[in-house]
Structure 1
Amino acid sequence: MKTILIAYATKTGTTEETAREIASTLEERGFQVEVKPMAQVASLDGWDGVVIGAPVNGMDWLPEAASFVASRKSGLAGTRVAVFFVSYLYFGGRTMWRKAIEKKLAMAAATAGASASVVLGGRLPGPLPGFARILFGKPKDAPLDARDHGVTREWAASLAALFA
C-alpha cells in the first residue's frame, strides 16, 4: 500500500479540514494517508508521496509553508509532490488578485517540485470589513464559505494517478 503524507499549515482550521477531506478521498482509493501539521513533520523519508497545503495570506502562502519546503528540498526531490492553496478571495474576487495567487501557486509548486497544484476554496470566520470588500472586489452578500467539496474531492481523486 502506498503511503502519502499530507502536511499542512493553517490559521483558522480550514486548511486542516481540506487536508482531511483530501486524505479521505485518497484512502477511499486504497492509499494509507497521514495528515500532520507541518511543524510536526520531522522527516519526509519513507513516504511515497507528499501533499503540501497552506492558506493564502497577503496574496502568498504562509511563511511557515515556504520555510517547510525550503528546509526539506532534498527530502522532496525524487518524491511525488502535490501542492494546494486554500483561498477565500480567489473565488469571486478581482481578477488581479486571482492572477497574483495563481503566480504564487506556480512558484510554490515549482519550488516544491510538485507535479500537481490547485487553489481550493476557503472560509472566513467573519465578514470582511467594507474597505477590504471593495479592495478585493467581494460583494457584501458573498457567502463566508467559498469551499466546494466536490472540487476538493475531484482534485484529490486526480492525485491517485500521480501517487500510483
Structure 2
Amino acid sequence: MSWIKDWAIEEKTMKTILIAYATKTGTTEETAREIASTLEERGFQVEVKPMAQVASLDGWDGVVIGAPVNGMDWLPEAASFVASRKSGLAGTRVAVFFVSYLYFGGRTMWRKAIEKKLAMAAATAGASASVVLGGRLPGPLPGFARILFGKPKDAPLDARDHGVTREWAASLAALFA
C-alpha cells in the first residue's frame, strides 16, 4: 500500500503547466502539443487549450502562450489574451512562443521585425523565456510574396524543426521547476 501513498504525494507536488494557444492553420496547436509532450516527459502535468477556452489562469504553476505571426505581428487574439489577463500572469512563470514560416530563410528585415514583436509580447506577458519556432504554409506563396519576403520559389512549405521545438520545451523545465 505504500505505493499508493507515494503516488498521492507525487501527484500533489507535480507542477501544472497551461499551454494556451491561438492558431489559424493548426500548426501552432501542433507545436503546443509537442511542447506539452516534452514537458510531460520531464514530469510536468500539462494542459493544452485554445486561448478562447481559458477561463482563468488561477492555479497554474506556469503558463506557455503561443500564436502564429500574421502580417508581421502576433495574432491579435494572442495580444488580447495577454492584455486581458495581465494581472493573472503577474507572479506566474510565463513563456511565450511565436510560430513563423517567414522567420526562417526570409529577409533579415522581416526577421528583425518579428524579433521586435516577440520581445514586446514577452515583456507584456512578463515572460522569462521566448522563442520563434518554425511554421508551415498550407500552399506556396504567390510570386509577389516570395519576392517581398525573400523566399525562393523552391523553398519547402514546412519550416518547422521538431528538434529545436523539443530543445526549447526542455529548457522550460528549469523555468517551471
CA distance in 1, matches of 2:49, 2:153: 35
Q: Deviations over 1:111-164 (max 9, x none)?
A: 000000000000000000000000000000000000000000000000000000
Count of residue pairs the alignment pairs up: 164
CA-CA distance at 1:44 after TM superposition = 0.0
TM-score by length of 2: 0.93
Q: Deviations over 1:7-61 (max 9, x none)?
A: 0000000000000000000000000000000000000000000000000000000
CA distance in 1, matches of 2:158, 2:111: 17
Q: Deviations over 1:50-98 (max 9, x none)?
A: 0000000000000000000000000000000000000000000000000
What corresponds to 1:3 in structure 2?
16
What corresponds to 1:50 in structure 2?
63
Secondary structure of 1:4 counterpart? strand
Secondary structure of 2:121 counterpart? helix
CA distance in 2, matches of 1:14, 1:109: 20
CA distance in 1, matches of 2:87, 2:73: 23
Gaps of 5+ in 1: none
Q: Which has the larger radius of gyration?
A: 2
Runs of 4+ in 1 over 4 A off after TM superposition: none
Gaps of 5+ in 2: 1-13
CA distance in 2, matches of 1:34, 1:110: 23
CA-CA distance at 1:99 after TM superposition = 0.1
Secondary structure of 1:123 counterpart? coil
